[in-house]
Structure 1
Amino acid sequence: MTKEMILSHPWFGPIVAALIAIPLALLLHRLSVIVLRRVTRSTPALHMMLLKISAPARFVLPLIALQAVWQGAPDDLKFIASIRHVNGLLLIATSTWLAARAVNGIADGVLARNPYDVSDNLRARSILTQTRVLARTASSVLVVAGAAMMLMTFPGARQVGASLLASAGVIGIVAGLAAKPVFSNLIAGLQIALAQPIRIDDVLVVEGEWGRVEEITGTFVVLKIWDDRRLILPLSYFIEKPFQNWTRHSSQLLGSVFIYADYSMPLAPLREEVERLVKAAPQWDGRFFNLQVTDTTERTMQLRVLCTAASSSLAFDLRCAVREGVIDFMQREYPQGLPRLRVEESAGAPERPADAPVPLRSAPPTLPPNAV
């Protein structure tokens, strides 16, 4: 092929333009990254977003330049329509990737400014939950919108793409809530992010299980049970069903300890021992404690010790320590105060010596569930 034939070929101009456009786009990307990194260094959210979109932008800018070249080529050029279509599909896909990465970058920047691995992390956990749920929801919507736009570039699939794009909108989600269970979790995710009935690291009692919220995804919640099991629940569960949240407004808790004692147990020394035990316990946060007789039966009296701690795990350890200390004190100092069963001798039975000890037997009644 001669030089004249090459220069006169219809594709010569577009190819040369494309070969010039790609390096220029990559150079623009490189310079923009250098400049913007310095400009956004004082803004963590924007700086993190820039770092996240750097990789997809390396593909988006050349594809934009190529699309401009192909659009400027003659319409009667052979294969130009197919090339424009393929380039457009790649541009939509990479732009969707860039938008999703931008959302995640902003979310990471917000989380970096609000670390939640501190003692008083209620506000940080609120921000963490809102940011993660909203970012995942936005990324899902962007992916659906990108897929719909790619479908709409095909003449035969425009109706399908239009329906998919409509379902990605808020009106489409609300209208399809009853017919599309998947959207119920999406709506629940938005409600959880805004109303925040649960947050990351919240302590919950769900389905009779005690655990912490380990992860909130776009469709389900992972609850880490105290024995390292994982309970997986759909997002809609926390909107439709009741559950206990022990850290809704604060992680501080009031723990209770129930002890059953005989009526002969004096309360004054027991109160002094409870005070000593609670104040000596490192788990006690110094807010409150007391000892009260909360119930009586024909055999025993029910004693309740209340004590406060800074978190649920500390409250559990404090309750165990107080319970063990009270039992040890009663066994050591007042064994007669332990629950026992009195047996009266019948008239025909031989008389018991006056100095014979009364038989003791531990017989506490069944404990209520909150005594565990």
Structure 2
Amino acid sequence: MDTALRPLPVVGGAVLLTLLAGWVADLLLRRTDAHHSETPLWGLLRRCRPPLQAVLLASVLRGTYRETRWRTVEEHAAGIGQFLSLVLIGSGAWLVTRIASAVVESTFARYAATTRDPARVRRVRTQVTLITRIVTAIVAVVAVAAALLTFPALRTVGTSMLASAGIIGIVAGIAAQSTLGNLFAGFQIAFGDMVRIGDTVVVDGEWGVVEEVTLTFLAVRTWDERRLTMPVSYFTGRPFENWSRGGAQMTGSVFLDLDHSAPLDAMRRRTEEILADCPAWDGRDWNLAVTDTTPSTIRVRAVVTAKDADDLWTVRCTVRERLVAWLVEQHPHALPRIATSHAVPSPREAHATHAASRYGDESARTGRG
């Protein structure tokens, strides 16, 4: 019975110590966050409590598991030690990733709170997202490498692996050309300010908003809630429209094909009334003018402005709908009409018709005589 209970003090003490340390760390971070509300860093660091406890528990058990004096532990001491080492490496990588993410997110939050330019905020947000992913990838690679080195067999063949590293690197580079291309394209997009999270873009005729940027792909959310996932190399090798570049404010047009008798002055007054009643209009500018004419219609263009692409779409639809409804109700003659008339006959048909008419008249006179 004593032999079976020997692991309890070691394991129980490690668990209690871990829980106590986690509680103390959370209490300190909570009090620090209350005294320094100007930065969200301390509140974000509270999310590091689970990995911190995992690191502490693995460390304590790694150093004290032999003290159990338990036959099962002594027989499998090497395997248990290696398992605890792997847990320690994994939890340590988890903790480093959480800390780095908290620092980066708090830095971005403070920058966003003090910057009024939405374009700069989106640019920094894109860069911060990619930096976080890069740090996570590096930590994961280092953790995997450290975990592999805990296996004696891998340390034994280390020399031969290093000797063939050059050949393996060349083969891997050839096989991963597209991946490496997307990786460097991701850096170019993030730090070259080509496209940012939240930008309104037109890609392959699809209008949408950039929702996610990673090291290998970019996701665009279209107006109908679809997601276009494209490699980032697409945006460095092909032209695309970025409506948010240089500012989110936009100018749009509404085209109407009307009759030549359309009341343009009344339309201008009605357009001004419609815009004044439209919350999506930003009040910067508007205009209405005839931009083209045909033998049967004129083309009227109304130019409107809005603070972003979504509001511009709303303003354009509102002006188009209300102007058409007003014309139908107040000036139906201004709507486009199709002029119709009798067809003009050809000279041969006209001569035949005239001859038949004369023959009919002569026959009628002869009959009357």
TM-score, reference length from structure 2: 0.71
Cα offset for 1:90? 2.4
More moved, 77-86 vs 147-156: 77-86
Aligned to 1:340: 337
Aligned to 1:290: 287
Contact (CA 8 Å) 2:25, 2:49: kept in 1 or not? no
- Pair 238,45 (structure 1): closer, same or farther in 2 beyond 3 Å: farther
Aligned to 1:258: 255
Aligned to 1:363: none
What SS does the corresponding residue of 2:86 show, helix, strand or coil? helix
More moved, 254-263 vs 244-253: 244-253
Give the letter for the 2:42 counterpart.
H
Cα offset for 1:70? 8.4
What SS does the corresponding residue of 2:262 show, helix, strand or coil? coil
Does 2:311 correspond to 1:314?
Answer: yes
How far, CA to CA, are the matches of 2:9 and 2:128 in structure 1?
46
What SS does the corresponding residue of 1:255 show, helix, strand or coil? strand
How far, CA to CA, are the matches of 2:324 and 2:316 in structure 1?
12
Cα offset for 1:143? 1.0
After TM superposition, the structure 1 = structure 2 runs for residues 53-72 of structure 1, keeping only pairs within 5 Å, are 53-67=48-62
Give the letter for the 1:142 counterpart.
V
- Pair 130,162 (structure 1): closer, same or farther in 2 beyond 3 Å: farther
Aligned to 2:70: none
May I ask how many residue pairs the two structures share in their alignment? Answer: 327
Does 2:321 correspond to 1:324?
Answer: yes
Cα offset for 1:333? 4.2
How far, CA to CA, are the matches of 1:69 and 1:184 in structure 2?
48
After TM superposition, the structure 1 = structure 2 runs for residues 171-250 of structure 1, keeping only pairs within 5 Å, are 176=173, 179-250=176-247
Cα distance per residue 1:200-237 (max 9 Å; x no partner) = 33222222222223333454333222222222223333
Q: Among residues 31, 34, 45, which one is paired with 2:27 in the alignment? A: 34
- Pair 208,35 (structure 1): closer, same or farther in 2 beyond 3 Å: same
How far, CA to CA, are the matches of 1:258 and 1:152 in structure 2?
69
After TM superposition, the structure 1 = structure 2 runs for residues 70-149 of structure 1, keeping only pairs within 5 Å, are 82-110=79-107, 112-113=109-110, 121-149=118-146
Does 2:148 correspond to 1:151?
Answer: yes
Aligned to 2:360: none
More moved, 316-325 vs 77-86: 77-86
How far, CA to CA, are the matches of 1:277 and 1:320 in structure 2?
11
- Pair 162,251 (structure 1): closer, same or farther in 2 beyond 3 Å: farther
Cα distance per residue 1:246-286 (max 9 Å; x no partner) = 22332221110111123333433333333333333332211
Give the letter for the 1:307 counterpart.
V
Unaligned runs of 5+ in 1: 7-11, 349-372
Unaligned runs of 5+ in 2: 68-73, 351-369
Give the letter for the 2:52 counterpart.
A
How far, CA to CA, are the matches of 2:187 and 2:325 in structure 1?
52
Contact (CA 8 Å) 1:49, 1:103: kept in 2 or not? no
Give the letter for the 2:28 counterpart.
V
Give the letter for the 2:183 counterpart.
L
Identity %: 36
- Pair 178,191 (structure 1): closer, same or farther in 2 beyond 3 Å: farther
- Normalized per residue, the structure richer in helix is 2
Contact (CA 8 Å) 2:199, 2:245: kept in 1 or not? yes
